[in-house]
């Protein structure tokens, strides 16, 4: 063993594979199963564990450890298997009896009724599975009052070692019913078979929770789809204008609506797909063989359950495609607005360029006037100086020299201004 290098979750991950073992079962036996929607909150988890602990204390059974998601214990009158799942809690009670009419026995069996009534959560599944030893006779089952003949399913499973009867209906006692005729099941195979049937019933019901959500969303999706089509048509029918801002605001509102619908339904639809996959896997594990004249569980699910799941998948896909369409429409409109803004920017830049050119021309004009004005004042000063010299020396040609200095003064002033302007431009 390599010391100090084990992952902290190594043992918990391995033990998770063995957390929900099959109960060994031998006929005759009656299994009473409940699944309640409890949610994922810490308060719901604490309420579940407190309720289970109350039952354990009543029968003097050790309570489960904190954090356990599976509990299995014998209560003398029954055996309990408790499972805490992500959003629901399952209670399975195993009772070994040999009643003449097991499906007519009290639905709750020996489980205290006051405790059952106080169970936290919303009841979704209540099922009774009767494991009988080749009794009653097969031909008596369809004629009995145990099942509704129109939806009755029958199939041989476990390589012919058992015969299953069920109609997937909730009967007057509030329970769905399964009758398993033992034709050579071992205790372990019997436990696995019952567990698969309970999984099919529980996961089927959990998956169907998505159907009301799909039916609720369909009109909303259709309405948003119609409004989106109108907005896209408006985009095609109009040129770039101030109306684009209004269109963009409407598209943003549509995107928010679609996002809200997705946020409210994604978990339910994703869970439905997972539960649907589990139902199909458990049906496949039954290895059903047809019994002449009766539909198998797989056939029943293909006709009754599969369309509901396809409806849910279709609504989820429509919602996803609608979200993508809204995103594409918003992107197109933003691109259109951006292009219009770029055109406006180019026009503004051209206007600025024209203004700069005019300013440059004006600057050059002013520069020429400045040269003339400065040269005029310099010549005026020079003229005063020449006149003063001429007063001292009458022979001094003041006017001639002043006139001759005009070109040189203009050139010097122009060079000075030009050099000053070039220095400023270099600094910029």
pLDDT for the residue 339: 67
| Nearest by Cα to 167 from 149, 193, 180 | 149
| Nearest by Cα to 270 from 48, 86, 62 | 86
Residue ranges of domains in the chain: 21-186, 210-347, 358-427
Calculate the alpha carbon distances from 101 to 140, 145, 185 in Å.
Answer: 12, 11, 21
Strand order across the 176-182 sheet: 70-74, 79-84, 88-95, 29-37, 122-132, 176-182, 162-166, 153-157, 289-290
Q: How far is it, in rounded angstroms, from Cα 116 to Cα 402?
A: 125
CA 355 to chain centre: 55
Whole-structure pTM value: 0.76
DSSP readout, 228-280? HHHHHHHHHHS-SSTHHHHHHHHHHHHHHHHHHHHHHHHHHHHHHHHHHHHHH
Residues 6+ apart with CB under 8 A from 318: 221, 225
Q: How far is it, in rounded angstroms, from Cα 216 to Cα 379?
A: 96
The interaxial angle of helices 210-237 and 306-392, nearest 10 deg, is: 40
- Chunked mean pLDDT (size 10), the chain, 428 residues: 65 67 82 92 90 93 85 91 92 81 68 91 93 70 77 90 92 90 89 94 96 94 89 71 72 88 92 95 94 92 94 94 87 73 72 74 65 73 74 74 76 74 67
pLDDT for the residue 107: 66
Q: How many CB atoms lie within 10 A of CB 394?
A: 7
pLDDT for the residue 102: 64
pLDDT for the residue 271: 94
β-pairing verdict for 122-132 and 176-182: parallel
pLDDT for the residue 357: 75
Residues 6+ apart with CB under 8 A from 91: 33, 34, 35, 36, 80, 81, 82, 119
pLDDT for the residue 106: 63
pLDDT for the residue 342: 72
pLDDT for the residue 427: 61
Residue 329's SS3 state is helix
Q: How far is it, in rounded angstroms, from Cα 24 to Cα 31?
A: 12
pLDDT for the residue 121: 92
């Amino acid at each position: 063993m390599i010391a100090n290098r084990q992952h902290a979750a190594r043992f918990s991950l391995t033990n998770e594979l063995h957390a929900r073992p099959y109960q060994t079962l031998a006929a005759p036996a009656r299994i009473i199963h409940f699944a309640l929607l409890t949610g994922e909150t810490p308060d719901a988890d604490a309420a579940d564990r407190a309720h289970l602990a109350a039952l354990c204390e009543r029968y003097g059974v050790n309570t489960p450890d904190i954090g356990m998601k599976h509990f299995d214990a014998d209560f003398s009158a029954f055996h309990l298997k408790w499972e805490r799942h992500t959003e629901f809690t399952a209670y399975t009670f195993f009772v070994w009896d040999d009643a003449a009419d097991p499906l007519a026995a009290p639905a709750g069996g020996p489980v205290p009724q006051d405790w059952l009534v106080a169970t936290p959560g919303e009841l979704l599944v209540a099922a009774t599975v009767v494991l009988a030893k080749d009794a009653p006779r097969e031909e008596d089952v369809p004629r009995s009052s145990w099942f509704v003949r129109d939806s009755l399913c029958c199939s041989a499973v476990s390589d012919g070692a058992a015969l299953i009867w069920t109609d997937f209906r909730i009967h007057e006692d509030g329970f769905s019913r399964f009758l398993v005729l033992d034709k050579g099941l071992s205790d372990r195979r019997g436990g696995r078979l019952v567990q698969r049937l309970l999984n099919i019933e529980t996961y089927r019901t959990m998956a169907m929770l998505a159907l009301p959500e799909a039916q609720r969303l369909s009109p909303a999706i259709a309405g948003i789809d119609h409004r989106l089509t109108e907005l896209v048509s408006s985009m095609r029918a109009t040129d770039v204008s101030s109306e684009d801002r209004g269109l963009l605001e409407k598209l943003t509102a549509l995107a928010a609506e679609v996002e809200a619908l997705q946020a409210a339904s994604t978990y339910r639809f994703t869970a439905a797909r997972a539960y649907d996959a589990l139902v199909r896997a458990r049906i496949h594990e039954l290895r059903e063989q047809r019994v002449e004249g009766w539909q198998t569980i797989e056939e029943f699910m293909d006709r009754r359950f599969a369309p509901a799941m396809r409806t849910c998948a279709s609504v989820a896909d429509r919602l996803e495609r609608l979200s993508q369409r809204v995103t594409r429409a918003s992107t197109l409109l933003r691109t259109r607005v951006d292009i219009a803004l770029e055109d406006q920017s180019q026009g503004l830049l051209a206007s600025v360029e024209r203004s700069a050119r005019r300013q440059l021309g004006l600057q050059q004009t002013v520069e020429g006037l400045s040269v003339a004005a400065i040269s005029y004042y310099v010549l005026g000063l020079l003229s005063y100086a020449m006149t003063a010299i001429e007063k001292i020396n009458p022979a001094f040609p003041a006017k001639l020299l002043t006139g001759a200095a005009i070109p040189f003064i203009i050139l010097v002033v122009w060079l000075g201004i030009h050099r000053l302007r070039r220095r400023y431009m270099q600094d910029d």
